[in-house]
Structure 1
């Protein structure tokens, strides 16, 4: 059984990953696209992920390169969620 990582650390990773993928988590939550339970599950999935170091490295590389929005990396437990929210957000903005 995997041990879950630190809540604060993974909350920050989720927020950074959302920014990197162009997702506004606060707007998604306010619009009802991200319910409280799914928000909590998102952080919990991240806490249980075994790719935290790879994720942190991927985020740092993108931040250094000032990369624009891009899909979450393979192995991200929330990749599908971020893709869905990104698509929904594009629809809200149009």
Structure 2
């Protein structure tokens, strides 16, 4: 798998995880709270995951949404902080 393809796969996982948590990354970008650099950093952490299939399985079983990020997610703290800010707004 090429580096770009692997990056794209993990970018999709980040986007899907945010979506499942109710975080709209496009909206966050338009509001100035999320930058392309933030996305790169988040995807870079995701790329360090040793078992992306575990994430895919979790996402597949949470299509209706979730209140928290799974413990194995390398972006758990970031995504939950984003979700908490949105929920409290």
Instruction: Decide: shared fold, TM above 0.5.
Output: yes
Rounded Cα–Cα distance in structure 2 between residues aligned with 1:16 and 1:68: 10
Quick check: 1:51–1:76 contact (8 Å CA) kept in 2? Answer: no
| 1:69 Cα deviation from its structure 2 partner | 3.2
Q: State the TM-score, normalizing by the size of structure 1.
A: 0.79
Rounded Cα–Cα distance in structure 2 between residues aligned with 1:8 and 1:36: 14
Rounded Cα–Cα distance in structure 1 between residues aligned with 2:21 and 2:15: 10
SS at match of 1:89: helix
| 1:24 Cα deviation from its structure 2 partner | 0.8
Aligned alpha-carbon RMSD (Å): 1.8
- 1:58-84 C-alpha deviation (Å, 9 max, x unpaired): 001112xxx333211011011111111
Which blocks of at least 5 consecutive residues in structure 2 are unaligned?
A: none
| 1:87 Cα deviation from its structure 2 partner | 1.7
Rounded Cα–Cα distance in structure 1 between residues aligned with 2:23 and 2:51: 21
Residues 19-38 of structure 1 mapped to structure 2, 5 A cutoff: 19-38=19-38
Counterpart of 2:80?
Answer: 83
1:73 equivalenced with 2:79 (yes/no): no
Aligned length: 86
SS at match of 1:62: coil
| 1:51 Cα deviation from its structure 2 partner | 2.9
| 1:13 Cα deviation from its structure 2 partner | 0.6
